Amino acid sequence: MSSLGVHAALAGRGVDLALDVAEGSVTALVGPNGAGKTSLLHLVAGLARPTSGSVRIADREVAGTTWVPVHQRRVALLTQRPALFPHLDVLANVAFGPRSGGATAADARTRALAELDAVGCAGLASRRPQDLSGGQAQRVAIARALATDPDVVLLDEPLAGLDVAVATEVRHALAARLRGQTSLLVTHELLDIWTIADQVAVLEGGRVVESGPAAELLARPTSAFLGRLSGTNLFTGTALGDTVLQIAPDVNLHGLPDPDQPLTVGLPGLASIQPAAVALHLADPGGSPRNHLAAEVTGIEPRGHYVRVNLTVAGQPLAADLTGQAVAELALRPGLRVLAAFKATQVRLYGR
Amino acid sequence: MRRGVAAGLAAGLLLGATLLTACAPAPSGSGTTLVVFAASSLNPTFATLGREFEAAHPGVTVTFSFDGSAALVDQLKAGAPADVFASADTANMDKAGTAGLIGDGPAQFTTNSLTLIVPRGNPAGITGLDESLDGRKLVICADGVPCGTATRKLAAALGITLEPVSEETKVTDVRTKVESGQADAGIVYVTDARASGTKVETLPITGADTARNVYLIGTVTASTQATLAAEFVALVTGELGQQALKAAGFGG
Amino acid sequence: MIRPPLPRWLLLPVTAAVVFLAVPLVALLARVPWMRLPALLSAPAAVDAFLLSLRTCAVTTLVCLVLGLPLALLLSRGTGRWAAAGRTLSTVPMVLPPVVAGLALLIALGRREPLGGWLAAGGIDLAFTTTAVVIAQTFVAMPYLVVSVEGALRSTPDDYAITAATLGASPTTVLWRVSLPLVAPAVASGAALAFARALGEFGATLTFAGSLQGTTRTLPLEIYLQREVDTDTALALSVVLIAIAALLVAVTARFSRGAWSRP
């Protein structure tokens, strides 16, 4: 059963989207700026009216032949800005939704405290929004959004404004709170997909060009998907130890575990390597790098001051950034077999 | 650099000063300017006389400041440059005289008496200072200003009580309220009734002469043009002036 | 942080500006008969004028809130020609010479004019009533509230109202619990400005409402009258007006400083 169905166009913006989301699924929306990700959220929230087609939430048509205004749609919206009401304290902010929904003051308060507790912010109940850090504010915003029992949660790059350490914290809070909650998550971050989403939809030019389970796309990323993820190499596999990920039979990656998301032996894991950290050799150079992978060149793209070399490793794509001089010295060409080497300290390993 | 800034500032100040001066009335050619402070009710009669004066005195420009007599005395006290002062009552001329502002012997040059006016067509059917005013909107001058003082003196003399809906500071404000029909009736000077022309109808008050305002004119002691000032006073008190005043309704 | 200093020569025009603004006020205060102030201000005419001013200005401020807030809300959302026209219309009385405002009111609502005549026929005679004073004051004061609140609404990010709506708040709830509280400081300062403007209203009242002690003769009209009759009383009442104006300006400044900081 589909919990969310968008089959709608916004003629003026060149947007024509088709997406069905199963109940309880968190779908990551990826795509370049202007691809229609935010338009999709607006169509669902009721902030944009489709010029044709319809939008259904929990099997109720909210746009199309009928029009349900924002406040009757039971959607929650989280953006980069927490937008906590500055004239209300934290508790009143979170209780705002239940109160608007008709709950008594006491019930709304109880619910708000529970939601704050669930994101680890119970101690902030009497604070003013102005006195919160960015991460605290975003967690309170999560509590506020979920206090209304929304049918769909819409997230528009909710972690984009936070620095890395804080984003990690909030990411975990989100992952925990969104489990089983039908959601759409606009993001450019691989980690968000890995940690929070179970489905991915790739948008381009106002259309959904690809969609499927997140695990599959991470294991066998298509170019459309990869192209959207800020050029990070990633490998999925099974954890053999704290610092070892098996990405194919007899192909192991050594790396450093992410302190917040360590690997668990026998469970899936994800590895990421920056293309600039990958060195290519014609013969085994020996030396210190822990990782030496047999690779085949599939393409060479000059990019100004460096050259992006595309390769395959154990059936998964790998990108390496080299100087033009190095490419010439190695006489790299498509079909050439090489060794890709990188230090274990350049590989980040994430458990789930 | 610093000098440049200072020069710029100086130039700016100079320019400002020039503009200010440009706003002031420019003295005409070789000539001189005679400044006359006169009670509001003397406009426009005095303005006409001013033009006659200019015609008779080539090179002389007469400028007027028409305002309430009390306000004019305040301005004179504050050192406003004037050559002639004409007051609509004795009280204010006395005030100016006591302050030493007026040369000897201000002359009484005319009088003004009160009358009742109603809007054209007399929509409220007023017949005079009688019961036809009951429940109607009567506007008079406030106590303390010359026309208000006169109005109260008249009411006392006639033994009647007035119940106005508004007591205006200026007699012209009474007049305009009757002209526009906001008020059903108003008590103003005969000269105001005359100036309103056909916009109002005049209902003469019997016994109005018991509360006449006496108009006085005198030269200002601080005047630098005593001769010209005296000549202007002579014009007003002379035959030409008296005729003009009479035509405007003064002397009643 | 130390900001780069302003050039020193600015002190020259600044001194000129301060002198320019301060001299008239200081001169007036120097002339006030302070010893006789209590006696002058407790005269019945003065007390009546003061109370009438407070009463009418309070009602005016209330009317400005009731009518001006919805207008400000609508204008803040408006774009295009109609909104521009509405904005012009709601600011013009602000810059209109008072006498012109009075004349306009008189022509619109005068007893002999179509609209005023129609009202009079219906038993509503505004001429020379306290209601006329309130109308005159509202006409000139409402723009201050509208402009102040509309500006604040425009600079409030949309996402507060959007978020409130997604949380299930109806448009009415969003208005009362989010949009208006967010601009509360601007509403307060706008109301204070409107009160101040109403307090100073003179020309329109004089032209439109008349001048009768206790009914239509507000503080400025009493000052205008006393200037002709007794300068000392006029000065004493001026002190009262200056004091109230200073107080209101201070209140306004306090509220604009206390605006919600945005997280």
What's the pTM value of the predicted model, to 2 decimals?
A: 0.78
Residue B123 confidence (pLDDT): 92
CATH class of A233-350: mainly beta
Q: What is the CATH number of domain B114-211?
A: 3.40.190.10
Mean pLDDT is highest, among A89-93, A191-195, A245-249, A292-296, for A89-93
Of A87, A97, A129, the CB nearest to C168: A97
Of C159, C174, C181, the CB nearest to A87: C181
Is A233-350 the same fold as A2-226? no
Residue A290 confidence (pLDDT): 82
Contact status, residue A94 vs residue A118, Cβ threshold 8 Å? no
* Mean pLDDT across C82-96: 88
C263 interfacial to chain A (CB closer than 8 Å) = yes
Residue B28 has pLDDT above 70, yes or no: no
Helix crossing, B239-247 with B45-56: angle to 10°?
150
Q: What is the CATH number of domain A2-226?
A: 3.40.50.300
| Per-residue model confidence as pLDDT tens digits over A6-54 | 999 999 889 999 999 999 999 999 988 888 999 999 999 999 999 999 9
Residue B24 confidence (pLDDT): 45
Assess if residue C97 is contained within a domain.
yes
Mean pLDDT is highest, among A258-272, B81-95, C116-130, for B81-95
The structure tokens 């005319």 sit at: B110
Q: Supply the range of the domain harboring residue C156.
A: 45-257
Contact map slice: A 138-177 vs C, CB within 8 A: 144-145, 148, 150
Residue B1 has pLDDT above 50, yes or no: no
| Per-residue model confidence as pLDDT tens digits over C37-79 | 999 999 999 999 999 999 999 999 999 999 999 999 999 988 8
Residue C65 confidence (pLDDT): 97
Contact status, residue A294 vs residue A339, Cβ threshold 8 Å? yes
**Predicted complex ipTM:** 0.80
Tell me whether the omega of the peptide bond preceding residue A221 falls within 30 degrees of 0, making it cis: no
Here the CATH number for the domain that contains residue C133 is 1.10.3720.10
- Any bridge partners for residue A342, and if so which? A291
Stated as kind and residue range, the H or E segment containing A247 is strand A244-248
Chains touching chain A through at least 3 C-beta pairs below 8 angstroms are: C
CA distance A214 to C126: 75
CA distance B26 to B23: 8
Span of A269-278, B182-191, B196-205, C149-158 with lowest mean pLDDT = A269-278
Contact map slice: C 167-186 vs A, CB within 8 A: 167-171, 173-174, 177-178, 181-182, 184
CA distance C169 to A99: 9
CA distance A183 to A137: 20
| Per-residue model confidence as pLDDT tens digits over B140-166 | 999 888 889 899 999 999 999 999 999
Specify whether domain B2-111+213-247 bears CATH 3.40.190.10. yes
> Are the Cβ atoms of C169 and A96 closer than 8 angstroms?
yes
User: What are the start-end ranges of the H helices in C78-216?
Assistant: 80-95, 98-109, 114-121, 130-155, 159-166, 171-174, 180-182, 184-200, 203-208
Higher-pLDDT residue of A131, A260: A131
Q: Which two tokens stand for residue C238?
A: 């001026």
**Contacting residues of C for A138, CB less than 8 Å apart:** none
How many angstroms away from the CA of B70 is the closest CA of chain C?
Answer: 5
- Domains of chain A, by residue range, sit at 2-226, 233-350
- Any bridge partners for residue B62, and if so which? B34
Residue A225 confidence (pLDDT): 63
CA distance A63 to C221: 61
Stated as kind and residue range, the H or E segment containing B235 is helix B226-237
Chains touching chain C through at least 3 C-beta pairs below 8 angstroms are: A, B
Span of A154-168, A329-343, B130-144, B160-174 with lowest mean pLDDT = A154-168
Burial profile B178-213: b = 16 or more Cβ within 10 angstroms, e = fewer? bbbbbbbbbbbbbbbbbbbeebbbbbebeebeebbb
Check residue C16 and report its DSSP letter: H
* Closest C-alpha to B128, from B202, B44, B54: B202
How many angstroms away from the CA of C45 is the closest CA of chain B?
Answer: 12
CA distance C222 to C213: 8
Assess if residue C213 is contained within a domain.
yes
Which residues have a Cβ under 8 Å from the Cβ of B219 and sit 6 or more positions away? B83, B84, B85, B102, B103, B226, B229, B230, B233
CA distance B133 to B247: 30
CA distance B199 to B176: 10
CA distance B143 to B157: 16
* Mean pLDDT across A93-119: 95
Assess if residue C102 is contained within a domain.
yes
Residue B9 has pLDDT above 70, yes or no: no
3-class SS shares of chain C: helix, strand, coil, % to 5? 80, 0, 20
| Per-residue model confidence as pLDDT tens digits over A144-201 | 999 999 999 999 999 988 887 788 888 888 998 999 999 999 998 877 888 899 999 9
- What whole-number percentage of chain B has pLDDT above 90? 64
pLDDT-derived band at A351 (thresholds 50, 70, 90) equals confident
The mean pLDDT value of chain C amounts to 90
Residue B209 confidence (pLDDT): 86
Of B74, B139, B169, the CB nearest to C224: B169
Contact status, residue B41 vs residue B192, Cβ threshold 8 Å? yes
Assess if residue C93 is contained within a domain.
yes
Is B114-211 the same fold as B2-111+213-247? yes
Of A47, A82, A101, the CB nearest to C168: A101
**Contacting residues of A for C175, CB less than 8 Å apart:** none
pLDDT-derived band at A224 (thresholds 50, 70, 90) equals low
Residue A135 has pLDDT above 60, yes or no: yes
| Per-residue model confidence as pLDDT tens digits over C6-39 | 899 999 999 999 999 999 999 999 989 999 999 9
pLDDT-derived band at A301 (thresholds 50, 70, 90) equals confident
> Are the Cβ atoms of C112 and B180 closer than 8 angstroms?
yes
> Are the Cβ atoms of C261 and A76 closer than 8 angstroms?
no
The dihedral over CA atoms of C76, C81, C87, C92, expressed in degrees to the nearest 10, equals 180
* Mean pLDDT across B11-21: 45
Which of B77, B169, B177 is best to mutate for the C interface (most C CBs within 10 A)?
B169
- Domains of chain B, by residue range, sit at 2-111+213-247, 114-211
Check residue A163 and report its DSSP letter: -
Question: How many domains does chain C fold into?
Answer: 1
> Are the Cβ atoms of C127 and B139 closer than 8 angstroms?
no
| Per-residue model confidence as pLDDT tens digits over C203-236 | 889 888 889 999 999 999 999 999 888 888 999 9
Helix crossing, C184-200 with C130-155: angle to 10°?
150
